[in-house]
Amino acid sequence: MNSAELSGRVALVTGASSGIGRQAAMDFAALGANVVVNARRAEKIRSLVDEISQAGGQAYAVAGDCVENETIDACYAACNSQFGADPDLVLVNAGRGLRGSPLTSDPEEWEDILRLNVLGATRLIRRAALSMQEMCPNPSESDDWLRRPRDILVISSSVAKNISPFSSMYGSTKFAIASIAEAVRREISSNGVRVSNICPAIVRTEFQEAAKYEMEGFGAFMETLAPVLDAHDISRLLSFIVTQPAHMCVNDVMVRPVRQEYP
């Protein structure tokens, strides 16, 4: 890959304040994309924009809860006001974890995780899909879609496909959004839009603490698998996907640390 492979493209990245989202925003910008970043922690994404700018990239921050349609609207408005177009690369990354199963997890957390991981993600997928369809409404009559790739990247999880009793409430939300991503892919692929579902296994970020994992034990577990994945690993995969020729879609991929057997 070279620094101009995403030149001219507009990317929207949610959950960009840390982890996979933050690294992906940096890497997309380094590849030439103009990037709008979103997260609830305003100071974190402003710092990210500064770092991208210092590296010679173009970025703009929109703080807010991406579950809300108003925040999604603000992100799209920023793409247009700052970079002149709706995004043609959307990373649906904002989400949270939850330790435990339907029997052991905190039921007070259920509504919030369903709201963010399923409802918010679906709202953004819908907005991105409708917008990208309009970019090339008649692909059979034009080859514009071959010159201008359009990507929706959805971050799911290995536990969406391999049920784990230790995080099955979280896994159920990722199962749901993976299903929605595949359904949307089938619905809009004829318009030349690529939808990719990415299922990482253990990735060391802030995610584990936020999900209220018992970090002494879980950290020891990760050490038995070391080295586990980090945000750079997943971002490198995302960059690979979006820099493929427009006729090629990497639509469903799972990535694990080599030594992680399950889930």
Q: What is the pLDDT of residues 98-152, one digit of tens each?
A: 999 999 999 999 999 999 999 999 999 999 999 999 998 888 788 889 998 999 9
Q: β-pairing, 151-155 with 58-63?
A: unpaired
Q: Which helix (H) or strand (E) element contains residue 37?
A: strand 34-39
Number of helices followed by number of strands (H, E) in the chain: 10, 7
Angstrom distance (rounded) from CA 259 to CA 263: 11
Tally of CB atoms within 10 A around 123: 17
How do the domains of the chain map onto residue ranges? 10-245
Per-residue pLDDT of the chain (263 residues; tens, 9 = 90+): 566 899 999 999 999 999 999 999 999 999 999 999 999 999 999 999 999 999 999 999 999 999 999 999 999 999 999 999 999 999 999 999 999 999 999 999 999 999 999 999 999 999 999 999 999 888 878 888 999 899 999 999 999 999 888 889 999 999 999 999 999 999 999 999 999 999 999 998 666 565 556 666 666 777 888 899 999 999 999 999 999 999 999 999 999 999 998 88
What are the two backbone dihedrals, phi and then psi, of residue 258, each rounded to the nearest 5 degrees? -55, -35
pTM for this structure? 0.93
Half-sphere exposure of 91 (CA within 13 A, CB side): 32
Q: Given CATH 3.40.190.290, say whether it is the number of domain 10-245.
A: no
